[in-house]
Amino acid sequence: MDSVSAPRANSGSRTSSGAPASSAPLARLGEVAPPATPKVEVDDFDLALLRELASDARQSQRSLARAIEMSAPAVADRLARLERGGVIRGYRVDIDWAALGYPVVVYVAVTASAGMDLSEIIKAISSLPEVEDMSVVTGGLDLLARFRVRDHAHLRELLLTEIFTINGVQRTETFLSLADVEPANFTASLLEQMRERRGGPRTEVS
């Protein structure tokens, strides 16, 4: 773990857009953070459909219909409703970045200067292609970002030429991931738990 402190911003510090730094750092967070999706009511068929997609998102609607014992048009209607409601956000490829030469995962905790508009820092970090995800957190830190890099030299370049130069970043802590341990299928497992809480029969999670 490495900790780096940047020089404190003076009282006249300004954002990257030229506006004075805000005395309420989270005031513009809504501009960069998506709003929470309203809860969508689902039934056992919806959960079964989502679980099938979690196992293989490339399945045809006909295949999905056979799996959950429903007609293909009914499956199409349910998929459309789940997409409109924001439950299904997309159908994406799951890439093994280590196989493409980016095996190193690094977490960078960021503390902003007092009074700095946090949304400006979020925008700057979000623009970096190496960032996988980022969270605004409670406690002594402000942001926790996950990066994917090639090696130590790439990490050093990212920190020195990008992150450390962002206006308002007062301090960072860098955590190197030694191993990524992921559940076999988080989505399917959580959907199965939801189904059990509704009183449905337990099925094996693949």
If you average pLDDT over each of 3-12, 91-100, 153-162, which comes out highest? Answer: 153-162
CATH number of the domain to which 192 belongs: 1.10.10.10
Q: Which domain holds residue 191?
A: 44-93+185-197
- Are 78 and 141 in a shared domain? no
Instruction: Specify the pTM.
Output: 0.77
- Residue 31: inside a domain: no
- Are 71 and 107 in a shared domain? no
Of all residues in the chain, the percent with pLDDT exceeding 70 is: 84
State the angle between helix axes of 72-84 and 44-55 in degrees (0 to 180), rounded to the nearest 10.
90
Residue pLDDT, tens place only, 138-184: 998 999 999 999 999 999 999 999 999 999 999 999 999 999 888 88
- Complete edge-to-edge strand list for the sheet that includes strand 104-112: 2-5, 169-176, 104-112, 143-149, 131-136
- Are 76 and 105 in a shared domain? no
Residue pLDDT, tens place only, 119-140: 999 999 999 999 999 999 999 8
More confident residue, 161 or 32: 161
- Are 101 and 60 in a shared domain? no
CATH number of the domain to which 158 belongs: 3.30.70.920
- Are 129 and 192 in a shared domain? no
Q: Which long-range contacts (CB under 8 A, 24 or more apart) does 48-52 make?
A: 48/195, 49/75, 49/78, 49/79, 49/82, 50/82, 50/87, 50/88, 50/187, 50/191, 51/187, 51/188, 51/191, 51/192, 51/195, 51/203
Indicate the number of domains in the chain. 2
- Residue 29: inside a domain: no
Over 50: is that where the pLDDT of 8 sits?
no
- Residue 53: inside a domain: yes
- Residue 122: inside a domain: yes
- Are 115 and 169 in a shared domain? yes
- Are 168 and 101 in a shared domain? yes
